[in-house]
Structure 1
Amino acid sequence: MKITTKGRYGLTIVLELTRCFGQGPISLRSIAEKKGLSEHYLEQLIGPLRNAGIVKSIRGAHGGYILGDEPAKITAGDIIRTLEGPIVLVESIEDEEAAQRELWMRIRNAVKDVLDSTTLEDLASHGDDPLVDGYMFYI
């Protein structure tokens, strides 16, 4: 399974909304400018997220988007499945021999478990720290 820019940028949108949770609506233009992304492309992604209830739109001069629920209740899996479809690593695994089928299912389940147990609150708590893994290298 390869996560495309749809999944990656969709996650970017909702993470920005998570970081501003409770502060009112955020425009796609501000997210696009802050992250250096195409506003037009983000507009294509926001529709499915809104239809799934992950985000809500607010109309008006000070409108924009807010999260549809609390950050602790929305998972990375919700966003990825909404924009990318079902999590499938290998097509037609029923045609594989039992040992291989078991391997593919275990890998798929591990990926699903990580995505479904990681909330927006978890992701937002990491911030934009370039040293995510905690290592510092000096040359």
Structure 2
Amino acid sequence: MTEPRRSVSGLNRVSTGSPGTPGARPVTGDLSALRAKNRASTPPPPVAAPPVAPVAEPAEKKQTNKPVTVYISQEVYTRARLTYKATSSAERDRNWSQFVEKAIAGEIERRELRHNAGDPFDGVDTPLSPGRPLAD
């Protein structure tokens, strides 16, 4: 059985037919004003922009966190993970990073109390030497 050839109306047709004819488009009006030579020579006056209120700066900048890579023994790592999983809800840790940060902050406070009368240590913050020590 042979099907008749079908064509899509409106495609690849010139829109010159009269209104009501398939493929014809209605005329939108006089388009001669679109030509540069037919436009007015003086541009319309600019519209004044509404005044912009100054943007208030936030009271505090959001703290940026520093990614850190450390090497610890498997035993300490396992104990830390188990402790975090068991107590994160009770201690209200947002995530593992906050747990680790609290642990480091606790050790910092302990050392400041023991070795520096509770005051922060002074000095210039220079990068630590990379890598592990040669002898463990």
TM-score when scaled to structure 1? Answer: 0.19
Higher helix residue share:
1
Task: Give the greater-gyration-radius structure (CA).
Answer: 2
TM-score by length of 2: 0.19
More strand by share: 1
Relative contact order (C-alpha < 8 Å, sep 6+): which is higher? Answer: 1
